[in-house]
Chains A and B, each alone.
Chain A
Amino acid sequence: MLALNDLVARVENENGEGKEIIKGLSLNVPAGEVHAIMGPNGAGKSTLSYVLTGRDGYEVTSGSASLNDEDLLEMDPEERAAKGLYLSFQYPLEIPGVPVMTFVRTAMNAQRKMRGEDEISAPEFLKKARELAKVLKIQPDMLKRPLNVGFSGGEKKRLEIFQAMMLEPNFLILDETDSGLDIDALRIVSEGVNALRSENRGMLVITHYQRLLDHIKPDKVHVLAAGQIIKTGGPELALRLEKEGYDGVLAEANA
């Protein structure tokens, strides 16, 4: 489903100078699977999520990235979204003046339009939004407020999952979704993510910590360090990292 082959990418700073962060990364996430990416700070985890979603200033210099055999790298960010790629942001942005409902509906209809589908009807949209808000314990009046403006960290993350459940993407990237969450919020968010698991959908869970993976059980765990996947294993690899830290795995890779 998501296939990255020997991907090399640079990040441009404000002065237009490029620095290579992703240095030959290969990864395959088949439909129906959830893969976790763990790694120390500065390994390139967030960079990877921005490279895949097409953010300006993140330039791919070689290699390939495709979703369902379609080349992602040629597409604008909104086209990638319409193809079903969804990034749950580590720090969701505040969108002043645009209520949650308006925002999600605009996004949904824009995606549908790009895919040549009809717009969702207002009653259908409302019904779906109300049901999902209930599941995620989001107060209905929150959906009328400008997206993320004045929301707590936990509320913002819940809204990220709410949007994902509304938009039903083919592939989710969860970037540090557990950061800023208390135990209850972590459980609610994880339940939402687990509800999104399906045989047609893939997920990439980027995280520092094992604790999220207690709730969202990955099929595979990859260790990202210095822009490359240095080790791949099952869920037990995450447990080992939690216990030993990254040093052991890094030393093995360098040996």
Chain B
Amino acid sequence: MSETDVSTLIAKPSPAEERFISAFKTLGTDASRLRSFEAFAKKGLPHRRIENWRWSDLRAALKTSGVQGNSIRDVFAEIAGPTFTFSAQGVKTPNAQPEGLNWSEELLETSFVASEDLPMAALTAALCENSRVLRIEISADQSLPVRLVIDANASDMFSRIELNVREGVKATIVESHFNQGGFSSTVIEYNVEKNASVERVIYQSANETAVQVVTTNVRLSGDSEFTQSALAKGAKLCRLETRVDHQVEGAKAVINAAYLLDDGRHVDVTSHVRHSAGHCETAQVTKGAVKKGGKGAFQGKFYVARDAQKTDAAMAHNALLLEDGAEVNAKPELEIYADDVQCAHGNTAGSLDEDALFYMRQRGIPLVTAKAMLTQSFIAEGLATISDDALREILEEEANQWLMTSL
């Protein structure tokens, strides 16, 4: 395909899309990139009339270009462990290489196939520079967490990471997703082999002009375990999308999150869990607390295939509207084709219990502290499954700091 053809793939491109087209041209047109770009181009940047993006209008959010803001404080900075940092400069890899941890700065051809279902993953596959591609292989238990830091500035930044956790191996992956004010899209693939166990802990924080998309694809083999817990503080627009596929019997997934949103912040916690094989479990709890002017969205879907008997899957999203003018939208969905399964979903939105607040104040606890305590306990469940005490306490403390200064 010639350059002129690429330019015509998107009808009436927006300024951001024009930026993507010219970026694509500079990268050279290998077949895989072209396929990905075509997949993206079919619908272009997702917007609110695309069902799966109705509460996250990326096209509108990218109308203005990035503004450089302050750097973001990494709450995990003190956590020791091999660290991979993605930034405008490319990938910085660890100085020392622990046993059982290998990496290369290229992906295999068999890697993630971009699809129209995941337009931002497709765009990322098309535009990710070779300097921000990383393939990690963990083939022995790691005593320290492996850290991924994705730190974008005001320029567009695309990153691709593939993590392969080999059979029977236990690993903790700590991810920091930062954006100082531009547009970033990150695609992460987790391949969790038989009997392997992965704990994934995520902290997301961005400046208020940032537009941030993190798309994760998780493949679970037999009897593997994957436990994900995220604390998200949102951005101008932030989409954290997680896709999990239970491919072989006996896999267990936990996908939890807590989000805390100030005025002008948005977060969209989207997940799609596919039970392809039977006898697998999914437990999902998402908790949110939103102030006036904050916008939270939750989209959760469980898909249970015909053969996935004895699936056990439960989904809950509970949001706390801390003030008038806070907004939360939710769409929990179950699509079940097997007949012997346990699937449940629940969704609530409400405000703090006034009676409880008065009770606490009557005991001498100031209103702000009372609100913070109740909110903290409300969102705690979203972080409760983090088994590493130090990591959990860091996120709990970060949540508490936000509550004490924001309420």
Contact surface of A with B, Cβ cutoff 8 Å: 53, 55-56, 76-78, 80-82, 86-87, 89, 92-98, 103-104, 106-108, 110-111, 114, 146, 163, 167
On whether A167 and B364 interact (CB within 8 A), knowing A56-B354, A95-B356, A97-B380, the answer reads: yes
Name the one of A89, A106, A108 contacting B373, with C-beta atoms under 8 angstroms: A106
Contact in complex: A78, B376 (CB < 8 Å) = no
Name the one of A78, A96, A98 contacting B361, with C-beta atoms under 8 angstroms: A78
Residues in B whose Cβ lies below 8 Å from that of A56: 354, 358
| Distance between A108 CB and nearest chain B CB, rounded to angstroms | 7
Residues in A whose Cβ lies below 8 Å from that of B377: 95-98, 146
Interface residues of B in 137-188 (CB under 8 A from A): none
Residues in B whose Cβ lies below 8 Å from that of A93: 353, 355-356, 359
Contact in complex: A78, B366 (CB < 8 Å) = yes
Residues in B whose Cβ lies below 8 Å from that of A95: 356, 359-360, 373-374, 377
Q: How many Cβ-Cβ contacts under 8 Å join chain A to chain B?
A: 71
| Alpha-carbon gap, A199 to B320, bound state (A) | 46
Name the one of B356, B358, B366, B376 contacting A94, with C-beta atoms under 8 angstroms: B356
| Alpha-carbon gap, A82 to B369, bound state (A) | 15
Name the one of A55, A81, A106 contacting B369, with C-beta atoms under 8 angstroms: A106
| Distance between B87 CB and nearest chain A CB, rounded to angstroms | 38
Contact in complex: B364, A81 (CB < 8 Å) = yes
Chain A CB within 10 A, most for which of B354, B356, B366, B380: B366
Residues in A whose Cβ lies below 8 Å from that of B366: 78, 110
| Alpha-carbon gap, A80 to B361, bound state (A) | 9
Name the one of A92, A96, A114 contacting B364, with C-beta atoms under 8 angstroms: A114
Contact in complex: A97, B364 (CB < 8 Å) = no
| Alpha-carbon gap, A110 to B358, bound state (A) | 15
- Over the window 361-374 of chain B, the binary record of Cβ atoms lying under 8 Å from chain A Cβ atoms (1 yes, 0 no) is 11111110100011
| Distance between A124 CB and nearest chain B CB, rounded to angstroms | 18
Q: At the interface, is chain B mostly helix, strand, loop or mixed?
A: helix
- Does residue B378 face the partner (Cβ distance < 8 Å to A)? yes
| Alpha-carbon gap, A127 to B364, bound state (A) | 21
Q: Enumerate 21 A-B pairs (CB-CB under 8 Å) in ascending A order.
A: A55-B358, A76-B361, A76-B367, A78-B362, A78-B364, A86-B362, A89-B359, A89-B362, A92-B359, A93-B356, A95-B373, A97-B377, A98-B373, A98-B374, A103-B363, A104-B363, A106-B365, A106-B373, A107-B364, A163-B363, A167-B363
Residues in B whose Cβ lies below 8 Å from that of A167: 363-364
| Distance between B354 CB and nearest chain A CB, rounded to angstroms | 7
Contact in complex: A107, B356 (CB < 8 Å) = no
| Alpha-carbon gap, A229 to B353, bound state (A) | 33
| Distance between B404 CB and nearest chain A CB, rounded to angstroms | 12
Contact in complex: B356, A78 (CB < 8 Å) = no
Which 6 pairs from chain A and chain B are nearest by CB? Answer: A97-B377, A81-B364, A111-B364, A107-B363, A77-B361, A93-B359
Contacts beyond the supplied A53-B362, A110-B365: 20 A-B pairs with Cβ under 8 Å: A55-B358, A56-B354, A56-B358, A77-B358, A77-B362, A78-B366, A81-B361, A81-B362, A81-B364, A82-B364, A89-B359, A92-B359, A93-B355, A93-B356, A95-B359, A97-B373, A97-B378, A98-B374, A146-B377, A167-B363
Name the one of B354, B367, B380 contacting A78, with C-beta atoms under 8 angstroms: B367
Residues in B whose Cβ lies below 8 Å from that of A108: 364
Residues in A whose Cβ lies below 8 Å from that of B376: 97
- Quick one: closest B residue to A112, CB to CB? B364
Residues in B whose Cβ lies below 8 Å from that of A97: 373-374, 376-378, 380
| Distance between A138 CB and nearest chain B CB, rounded to angstroms | 17
| Alpha-carbon gap, A104 to B373, bound state (A) | 13
- Quick one: closest B residue to A77, CB to CB? B361
Residues in A whose Cβ lies below 8 Å from that of B374: 95-98
- Quick one: closest B residue to A85, CB to CB? B362
Residues in B whose Cβ lies below 8 Å from that of A163: 363
Chain A CB within 10 A, most for which of B360, B361, B364, B376: B364
Residues in A whose Cβ lies below 8 Å from that of B365: 78, 106-107, 110
Residues in A whose Cβ lies below 8 Å from that of B363: 81, 86, 103-104, 107, 163, 167
| Alpha-carbon gap, A91 to B355, bound state (A) | 10
| Alpha-carbon gap, A78 to B380, bound state (A) | 25
Interface residues of B in 326-374 (CB under 8 A from A): 353-356, 358-367, 369, 373-374
| Distance between A164 CB and nearest chain B CB, rounded to angstroms | 10
Residues in A whose Cβ lies below 8 Å from that of B353: 93
- Quick one: closest B residue to A83, CB to CB? B364
- Quick one: closest A residue to B354, CB to CB? A56
Residues in B whose Cβ lies below 8 Å from that of A107: 360, 363-365
| Distance between A86 CB and nearest chain B CB, rounded to angstroms | 8
Chain B CB within 10 A, most for which of A55, A78, A87, A92: A78
| Alpha-carbon gap, A108 to B359, bound state (A) | 14
| Distance between A129 CB and nearest chain B CB, rounded to angstroms | 15
Residues in A whose Cβ lies below 8 Å from that of B356: 93-95
- Quick one: closest B residue to A164, CB to CB? B363
Residues in A whose Cβ lies below 8 Å from that of B359: 89, 92-93, 95
Contact in complex: B369, A110 (CB < 8 Å) = yes
| Distance between B400 CB and nearest chain A CB, rounded to angstroms | 12
| Distance between B222 CB and nearest chain A CB, rounded to angstroms | 36
| Alpha-carbon gap, A106 to B360, bound state (A) | 10
Chain A CB within 10 A, most for which of B354, B358, B363, B366: B363
Residues in A whose Cβ lies below 8 Å from that of B373: 95, 97-98, 106
| Distance between A13 CB and nearest chain B CB, rounded to angstroms | 14
Interface residues of B in 232-262 (CB under 8 A from A): none
| Distance between B355 CB and nearest chain A CB, rounded to angstroms | 5
Residues in A whose Cβ lies below 8 Å from that of B361: 76-78, 81
| Distance between A132 CB and nearest chain B CB, rounded to angstroms | 15
| Alpha-carbon gap, A155 to B378, bound state (A) | 24
| Distance between A196 CB and nearest chain B CB, rounded to angstroms | 16
- Quick one: closest A residue to B360, CB to CB? A95
| Alpha-carbon gap, A97 to B370, bound state (A) | 12
Chain B CB within 10 A, most for which of A53, A92, A93, A108: A93
- Quick one: closest A residue to B359, CB to CB? A93
